[in-house]
Structure 1
Amino acid sequence: MIHTKKYSLTKKDYTKIILLKRLKKSWWLYLFMFVLGILYLPKFGEDSFSTFFTIFSFSYPFVMFTYLYFWANSKDHQPIFSETHLSFDNENIYLKRNGNESKITSNSIQKVISNTKYWMLYISKGQFIYIPKNIFYSNEDYNKFSALIN
């Protein structure tokens, strides 16, 4: 069994992950709304529909990002930010958080997203586990974990 350093996900990192994920998924929608806002801008003030649509088109991205910011920092997500201890062997990953231990088999990982600073292991479509890459005591432990999740 290989143990790692304790880590925790900060609210800033979680918010950044959520906002970037939404931007990558829906960038075309924000671009479309911005273009429509520019097209309706010359008609701004002429009728109520053009005025509403222009304001809505330009404010929609800001409203969505503000909503996601407050959603990511809500009290419902407090367990995500608690200190976590990770350990693993050749087949399983063990996460210990708030006195509870979870066992995840390597087969249950559906998708792995690798970043320069962290991995996101998707257990289901909307549930991921954040694992920073700097929590390992040695390069050998890092390489073993990398092989396990891939």
Structure 2
Amino acid sequence: MIVKTKKFALDKKKYINLAFTRQIKKSWQWLLIPLAIMLLGVGLHFSGVYKNWWILISAFIGGLLYIAFWYIQFYAATQMEQNAQMFDKFAYEIDSRQIMIKVNKREGGVIKWDTIQSAEKLEDSGFLLNIARGQFLHFPKNVFNSDHDLKLMDNILRRKGLID
């Protein structure tokens, strides 16, 4: 059985949102360092040992810079010419052997299932197949031709062990 999708493109804003939130969720523990330093600064200030706010302010700015760094990385990826192909319109044919990306009826490419690291079933917007950091395939629910195709996609991902 083959799942065929309509021709669609990944929206740049959707890409930034998905990639950024996935990265922050994956590396949230790094945000604990500025938080601990801020708590240390507040503790030192109010205990009277070291009355200065620069520790708190520096840690807060450091945390903001960490978040801004990742946001800028994913925003910049949408502006680079070599990534322009990620946002072109493609149709997909998905089966248990491969994912066929079709530019038109005669041109396209293939992604083997072993390159997919993980998958997520998004409650509101379909499926997300993770390839690497910042690289994924997003299949919104509205690109599938029928509910049967949506269920078949879910079945293929379950058989591959990518979703529970």
TM-score by length of 1: 0.77
Once residues 44 and 130 of structure 1 are traced to their aligned partners in structure 2, the CA distance between those partners, rounded to angstroms, is 50
Q: Letter of the 1:113 partner, please give it.
A: E
Alignment of 1:148 onto 2:150: no
Q: Tell me how far 1:85 sits from its aligned partner.
A: 1.3
1:133 to 115, 134, 141: 141
2:118 is matched with which residue? 111
Could you say what the CA RMSD is over the residues aligned between the two structures, in angstroms? 2.7
User: Which stretch of structure 1 is more off in the superposition, 16-25 or 34-43?
Assistant: 34-43
Q: Secondary structure at the match of 2:38?
A: helix
Question: Alpha-carbon deviations, 1:26-47, whole Å to 9, x = none?
Answer: 22221331232132142463xx
2:162 is matched with which residue? none
Alignment of 1:70 onto 2:78: no
Q: Tell me how far 1:90 sits from its aligned partner.
A: 4.3
Q: Letter of the 2:86 partner, please give it.
A: I
Q: Tell me how far 1:108 sits from its aligned partner.
A: 4.1
Please say if residues 106 and 148 of structure 1, whose CA atoms lie closer than 8 Å, have aligned partners that are also in contact.
Answer: no
Please say if residues 93 and 101 of structure 2, whose CA atoms lie closer than 8 Å, have aligned partners that are also in contact.
Answer: yes
Please say if residues 20 and 74 of structure 2, whose CA atoms lie closer than 8 Å, have aligned partners that are also in contact.
Answer: no
Q: Letter of the 1:19 partner, please give it.
A: F
Q: Letter of the 2:157 partner, please give it.
A: I
Alignment of 1:122 onto 2:127: no
> Which ranges of structure 2 fall in alignment gaps of 5 or more residues?
159-164
> Which ranges of structure 1 fall in alignment gaps of 5 or more residues?
none
**Alignment identity in percent?**
24
Q: Letter of the 2:36 partner, please give it.
A: V
1:58 to 57, 60, 76: 60
Residue 126 to residue 81, structure 1, CA distance change in 2 (3 Å):
closer
Q: Tell me how far 1:124 sits from its aligned partner.
A: 4.8
Runs of 4+ aligned structure 1 residues displaced above 4 Å come to: 97-100
Please say if residues 74 and 134 of structure 2, whose CA atoms lie closer than 8 Å, have aligned partners that are also in contact.
Answer: no
